[in-house]
Amino acid sequence: MSRDRAAMPPPLDRLVVIDGQDRLTVGKDLSIQVGKKLRIEAGDSLELVVGQASLLMKKDGSIVIKGRRLSFEASEAVDVKASGDVVLKGGKIAEN
């Protein structure tokens, strides 16, 4: 096998290249099932919206989560790390 052929990635089952804009509208449900890894990459921002809830990720690294009520659940530890201040604001902030 030639060196050029060996350096090529394996063939794709499907490749779609769109130079302009694209929109997909589905009237009911859309499901995507991936066997191992799903990566979505956007140049400026990625936003997920469901009703009044949203998750916005921006290219500057900021992430905004909005919703009427936020719940965080973990079966193990929850770590929060920041190089700056961590600010909690609310009517009542409880610790156990």
- Are 32 and 38 contacting, i.e. CB atoms less than 8 angstroms apart? yes
**Phi and psi dihedrals of 6, rounded to 5?**
-70, -30
**Is the distance from CB of 68 to CB of 52 less than 8 angstroms?**
yes
Alpha helices per DSSP H over the chain: 3-7
pLDDT attached to residue 79: 93
Q: What is the distance in angstroms between the CA of the first residue and the CA of the last residue of the chain? A: 65
pTM of the complete model: 0.75
Percent of the chain with pLDDT over 90: 80
